[in-house]
Structure 1
Amino acid sequence: MIAFLKRWWADCPPYALALFLAVTPAWAVQPDEMLTDPVLESRAREISRDIRCPVCQGETIDDSNAPISRDLRLIIRERLVAGDSDAEVVDYIVARYGEGVLFNPPAEGANLVLWLAGPALLLAGIAVALAAGRRRVAPDVVLTTEEESRLKEILKE
């Protein structure tokens, strides 16, 4: 394996290395958004890992370049600087944008249906599969007289 990598590295064109370096993940958080206090910045990053971009839906606000994500990152940092706890910051964002911005919404109220639907459907599928397996009946097979005599010979031996 190492010999392969050495050979590949020697034959590798320069633009291939640039391509691999360009594929590395980039954070959308801009330097002008970062807080000078490392503790507050760490808290802000922790909170924003659980907040979904309202536009992108599959990305955190730290990963998204959408303007709304930038606004949410700034709001989180402003609230932390103002002295809010992590829970208060999340509650503030949920109050403004709804529970749809949370990657892990709480399992209560209407969300409880969503949390329980997956396991309930899994159990229902297993029950249907078991019921279908039990209903399966071996088909009636009628043996010819020649087959019956051969079967009797085999069973006598």
Structure 2
Amino acid sequence: MALAAMLLLSAAPAHAVQPDEVLKNPALEARARHISEGLRCLVCQNQSIDDSDAPLAKDLRVIVRERLTAGDDDRQVVDYVVARYGEFVLLKPVLAWHTLLLWLTPLLAVLLGGFGIWRLSRRQAPEKPAGLSQAEQAEVDALLERR
């Protein structure tokens, strides 16, 4: 039983939130965790600030909690962090004119690949030779008779 509990705990996502960072209000803490899941650690770059042990991630977690306790709503907290650190801090980029290429590149790659495959399938196979002419066939027969 204890082994099963240890396996379940080890399979859970690792959170780097320190006990001194946790808010006493469970509703605010849940909101902070929800916001933190969508913010990128600028040091690790592929982890949320909730999962990162980097000092900058800790600073961002503290900022999120400070803004929430100051009365900001979730959108205001995210906007504050984005204004301070740029859109790169978002794990999921926004869909806007300046990020349109980022969102359309996979679609364009699939379309270009499909077009290339379609073009290759439409190519005509090279014509097969019609066969030997009478002179060539006579020459082959003559060579075979010499054997």
TM-score with structure 1 setting the length? 0.74
Output the CA distance in 2 between the equivalents of 1:29 and 1:47: 13
**Residue 63 in 1 paired to residue 51 in 2?**
yes
| Alignment-mate amino acid for residue 43 of structure 1 | R
Output the CA distance in 1 between the equivalents of 2:128 and 2:113: 29
| Alignment-mate amino acid for residue 102 of structure 1 | L
Output the CA distance in 2 between the equivalents of 1:20 and 1:49: 23
Which structure has the larger Rg over C-alpha atoms? 2
Output the CA distance in 2 between the equivalents of 1:79 and 1:97: 15
Output the CA distance in 1 between the equivalents of 2:39 and 2:124: 49
**Residue 81 in 1 paired to residue 69 in 2?**
yes
Partner of residue 40, structure 1: 28
Between Structure 1 and Structure 2, how many residues are aligned?
129
Q: Equivalent pairs: percent with the same residue?
A: 48
Q: After superposition, what is the alpha-carbon deviation per residue over 1:83-108, rounded to whole angstroms, capped at 9, x for unaligned?
A: 00100000000001110011111110
Cα gap change, 1:118 to 1:30, in 2 (>3 Å): same
For structure 1, the residue ranges without an aligned partner over 5 or more in a row are 1-16, 146-157
**Residue 52 in 1 paired to residue 40 in 2?**
yes
- Alpha-carbon distance, 1:110 to partner: 1.4
- Alpha-carbon distance, 1:118 to partner: 1.1
1:128 corresponds, among 110, 116, 138, to 116
For structure 2, the residue ranges without an aligned partner over 5 or more in a row are 134-147
Q: After superposition, what is the alpha-carbon deviation per residue over 1:2-27, rounded to whole angstroms, capped at 9, x for unaligned?
A: xxxxxxxxxxxxxxx9x968954421
Output the CA distance in 1 between the equivalents of 2:75 and 2:103: 21
TM-score with structure 2 setting the length? 0.79
| Alignment-mate amino acid for residue 118 of structure 1 | P
